[in-house]
Amino acid sequence: MKIVRTIAELRAQLRGQLRTAFVPTMGNLHEGHLSLMRLAARHGDPVVASIFVNRLQFAPHEDFDKYPRTFQEDCDKLERENVYVLFAPDERELYPEPQEFRVRPPADLGDILEGEFRPGFFSGVCTVVLKLFNCVGPMAAVFGRKDYQQLMIVRRMTQQFALPCEIIAAPTIRENDGLAMSSRNRYLTPTERAEAPRLHRVLREVESRVAGGIADIATIEADATAALVAAGWQPDYVAVRRRSDLKPPSAADLTAAEPLVTLAAARLGATRLIDNLEIER
């Protein structure tokens, strides 16, 4: 695996490659990330990964400085997955001057759910993803379904800017007890780690009630939120939304079996976890 630090080196290394598959990450890689590399290898060749902790998507009070950085371990894992190039720029390389030009998703998609509780987050994501796409020039890029709203926003940005890149959605990889794999899971204490799978169980209960025909979505959401609060969580949201645009479903949507998804974000101690589950009806 070749490790490159500059955009010029990256472009030189990839010159003439027309089927590059790309997986952007912030490092601290786990099995979920590695599954993205394997999926990328089925959709292109060579596979390029990036590691860059993007300051633009962190609010001032969030954990940018504490975000776990495990570069050598990450390199070892990527090498075992036969990744061809790892692009690992520092901030001065990717942002040599203040990044005053930003990509801002539409408010009706970018300012809800995660965007409501993390203002500016999706603008930071879109800006760095567009910049990375311009550096790598991929034919395909892989993003995980665990970040459901992010996946949707990146896909729409790619479509609206007519970027020659297919966005591949990868399934959420879970621990044996149902907890979605995440770099932030390492922040959990042993007691919190034992409690953390409750988030997935709550979403499964929401799915069960909606799939069972209960149409009072507000009550289902409130009950799920209350279940988390009773167990010591601090929920930001538990929501049932349309898969197509993440808007709340209408009565007609429920009658017509509109495809739905349930999404949640909640703090357990100092750690904020997110998860989602597509509802099968």
pLDDT tens, 29-75?
999 999 999 999 999 999 999 999 999 999 888 878 888 899 999 99
H helical segments located in 100-189: 107-110, 114-117, 121-136, 148-160
| pLDDT value, residue 65 | 87
Q: What phi and psi values does residue 247 have, to the nearest 5 degrees?
A: -90, 155
| pLDDT value, residue 41 | 98
Closest CA to 101 of 42, 56, 66: 56
In eight-state DSSP terms, residue 26 is -
Closest CA to 26 of 150, 109, 119: 150
Active site residues: 33
Whether the pLDDT of residue 218 is over 90: the answer is yes
H helical segments located in 66-213: 71-80, 91-94, 107-110, 114-117, 121-136, 148-160, 190-195, 198-211
H helical segments located in the chain: 7-14, 31-43, 71-80, 91-94, 107-110, 114-117, 121-136, 148-160, 190-195, 198-211, 217-230, 251-255
| Distances 188 to 9, 194, 252 between C-alpha atoms, Å | 38, 9, 41
Rounded to two decimals, the pTM is 0.95
Share of the chain above pLDDT 70, in %: 100
CA-based R_g, the chain, Å: 19
